[in-house]
Amino acid sequence: MKSILALTTLAIWVASTNAQAAVYQQCGGIGWTGAATCVSGSTCTKLNDYYSQCLPGTQGATSSSLPPSSSSSRSTSASSSSSSSLQSTSPTSPPSSTSSAPSSSGTCAPNAPPASAGQLRFAGINIAGFDFGCNSDGDCTASAAWPPLTKYYGMDGAGQMQHFVKDDGFNVFRLPVGWQFLLNDTEGGPVNDANLQKYDDLVQACLSTGASCIIDLHNYARWGGKIIGQGGPPDDELAATWSTIAAKYASNDKIIFGVMNEPHDIPDIVRWAQSVQAAVTAIREAGATSQLILLPGNNWTSAETFVSNGSADALNKVTNPDGSITGLVFDVHKYLDTDNSGTAAECVRNNIDIAWAPLAQWLRCHGRQAFNTETGGGNTASCATYLCQQIAYQKANSDVFLGYVGWAAGNFATGYVLGETPTQNSDGSWTDTSLVQACLAPSSQS
Ligand SMILES: *[C@@H]1O[C@H](CO)[C@@H](O)[C@H](O)[C@H]1NC(C)=O
Ligand SMILES: *[C@@H]1O[C@H](CO)[C@@H](O)[C@H](O)[C@H]1NC(C)=O
Ligand SMILES: *[C@@H]1O[C@H](CO)[C@@H](O)[C@H](O)[C@H]1NC(C)=O
């Protein structure tokens, strides 16, 4: 999550005033006050209590049996590159009646999600603590890292994860860590064995639950304010750190490598893709040949501007050493508050029209996938409504979205505005925060 507020238009989600919702727009759900009927050729389909959506097809028909709707000529780039004012009016994910596979012709034909979509591969929570002391300039100090484990006088991150898996059905955790902690504050130095061992205690606690575990280098593409490969640490230093980590976990297929948390204000995105490429090559050459690697774009890995700001095209060129893209997944974040900063208790949008629909279309057209590794909101009614809608949309498009990870539990006190830290009761059981109960926990979803 970013700690500097981006100044953006205060764009309140406005329910569509159209009499009929367009294909892929919302048409019902708790709290929904917009159009309740769909344009001709599509049917309002309930995905869960919080979200119904216009899907191509009439009642009982499949999406492959109908002609495209009149909106289907709108291009992805046109809908995702304009300002946020489009969110209340623009259908951003027009369907195609003919194709369900990525286009190989060079043109990017919009595709509908396959009928099989509906189950996300991953649902999880961030377990924060080893990243404490990092700011968005990539200034971290090793001594400020606070392991979220009781043996290091932190919260019981191990117990939290066991609870999240056993009681809620989560199956992934993201474990942020500052680069400075791993290198014990020595830029360009080797990974510090003792510090890596401490971090590994958290990784092992995660693995012991049976969940997948994302290793997240939480440095905003920087060390001490300077950008990797663009005035800051050379790509080799990033690659060397990843090589050490990847060698340690090379044989564990539950490990996911998160190359970098939230790059922002990167002047040259094509150059940044080279830094990411260096990390990917290092991970694969260290023997971690098959695990997922998450590739982060510019602007705080914003899902909304991933395509329009050039991150998609630049990172689409990153490959494994053999030239394939197997296991290379785009990392995207999105918050639901007024300025997408993840700092406000109230949520104002579900991000579908402005971010998820155009991104889904781009991914489908290019045969790629993304993982939403940070999202969340306050423990408020507005966030319950909008986050449930966002997750329902991701589930409906699970061919291109791998899943979501809520921000955050671990060492966050229960009073933290985006806190997802459960409370342990005297009998040893746990009580979740209201947003985890309402939306994030897979067990809460229909
Ligand atoms: C990390 O660096 C500090 C300061 O140089 C030093 O006191 C400490 O012993 C180092 N920690 C480890 C685990 O090497
Ligand atoms: C970054 O993304 C936010 C929304 O996520 C958007 O409002 C802002 O304009 C973007 N900034 C840039 C530079 O693309
Ligand atoms: C992405 O946003 C940055 C910051 O506003 C801008 O300088 C850059 O030109 C944008 N890149 C593209 C490809 O839109």
For residue 299, the ligand closest to its alpha carbon is: 2
Dist CA 101 CA 110 (whole Å): 10
Q: What is the pLDDT of residue 1?
A: 64
Query: Is the Cβ–Cβ distance between 309 and 263 less than 8 Å?
Result: no
Atom 1, ligand 3: which residue's CA is nearest? 309
Q: What is the pLDDT of residue 34?
A: 83
Q: What is the pLDDT of residue 74?
A: 29
> In sequence order, which residues have a C-beta less than 8 Å from that of residue 153 and are 6 or more positions away?
none
For residue 266, the ligand closest to its alpha carbon is: 3
Query: Is the Cβ–Cβ distance between 99 and 111 less than 8 Å?
Result: yes
Atom of ligand 1 nearest to the CA of 142: 1
Measuring CA to CA, how many Å separate 142 from each of 3, 124, 130, 184?
Answer: 19, 26, 9, 6
3 state SS of 346: coil
Give catalytic status of residue 420 as yes or no.
Answer: no
Note the Cα 73 to chain centre separation in Å: 28
Query: Is the Cβ–Cβ distance between 342 and 407 less than 8 Å?
Result: yes
Give catalytic status of residue 187 as yes or no.
Answer: no
Q: What is the pLDDT of residue 44?
A: 86
User: Is the C-beta atom of 309 inside 6 A of ligand 3?
Assistant: yes
Query: Is the Cβ–Cβ distance between 283 and 257 less than 8 Å?
Result: yes
Question: Long-range contact list for 201-206, CB < 8 A, 24+ apart?
Answer: 201/147, 201/149, 201/151, 201/152, 202/127, 202/129, 202/130, 202/147, 202/148, 202/149, 202/157, 202/158, 202/175, 203/175, 203/249, 203/255, 205/149, 205/157, 205/158, 205/161, 206/127, 206/161, 206/173, 206/175
Measuring CA to CA, how many Å separate 314 from each of 10, 101, 232, 238, 310?
Answer: 29, 22, 20, 19, 6
Q: What is the pLDDT of residue 115?
A: 79
Q: What is the pLDDT of residue 69?
A: 32
Note the Cα 81 to chain centre separation in Å: 20
Can you give the pTM of this predicted structure?
0.82
Query: Is the Cβ–Cβ distance between 161 and 201 less than 8 Å?
Result: no
Burial group, residue 325, by CB count within 10 angstroms (0-12, 13-18, 19+) = middle
The domain spans of the chain are: 25-56, 122-444
The total number of residues shown for the chain amounts to: 446
Query: Is the Cβ–Cβ distance between 337 and 346 less than 8 Å?
Result: yes
Atom 6, ligand 1: which residue's CA is nearest? 184
* Rg value, the chain, Cα: 21
Q: Are strands 20-21 and 37-38 parallel, antiparallel or unpaired?
A: parallel
Q: Which of 237, 262, 304, 420 is catalytic?
A: 262
| Per CATH, domain 122-444 is 3.40.50.920 | no
> In sequence order, which residues have a C-beta less than 8 Å from that of residue 343 and are 6 or more positions away?
1, 5, 337, 417, 418
For residue 356, the ligand closest to its alpha carbon is: 2
Q: Which residues pair with 37 in a beta bridge?
A: 20
CB atoms within 10 A of CB 78: 13
Each residue's pLDDT expressed in tens, for the chain with a length of 446 residues: 654 333 333 222 233 334 788 776 778 877 777 888 988 888 887 766 767 777 776 543 333 322 333 333 323 233 333 333 223 223 333 333 333 344 344 455 556 788 778 899 999 999 999 999 999 999 999 999 999 999 999 999 999 999 999 999 999 999 999 999 999 999 999 999 999 999 999 999 999 999 999 999 999 999 999 999 999 999 999 999 999 999 999 999 999 999 999 999 999 999 999 999 999 999 999 999 999 999 999 999 999 999 999 999 999 999 999 999 999 999 999 999 999 999 999 999 999 999 999 999 999 999 999 999 999 999 999 999 999 999 999 999 999 999 999 999 999 998 899 999 999 999 999 999 999 999 999 999 97
Structure tokens at 202: 């958290």
Q: How far is the CA of 299 from the centre of ligand 2 (A)?
A: 6
Structure tokens at 247: 């060698």
> In sequence order, which residues have a C-beta less than 8 Å from that of residue 149 and are 6 or more positions away?
129, 156, 157, 158, 201, 202, 205
User: Is the C-beta atom of 310 inside 6 A of ligand 3?
Assistant: yes
**Ramachandran sector of residue 179 (left: φ over 0; alpha: ψ -120 to 50; beta: rest):** alpha
User: What does the DSSP assignment read for 77-104?
Assistant: HHHHHS-GGGGGT-------SS--S---
Q: How far is the CA of 250 from the centre of ligand 2 (A)?
A: 36
Dist CA 277 CA 313 (whole Å): 14
Measuring CA to CA, how many Å separate 200 from each of 169, 183, 442?
Answer: 23, 14, 27
Dist CA 178 CA 176 (whole Å): 7
CB atoms within 10 A of CB 105: 7
Q: What is the pLDDT of residue 142?
A: 97
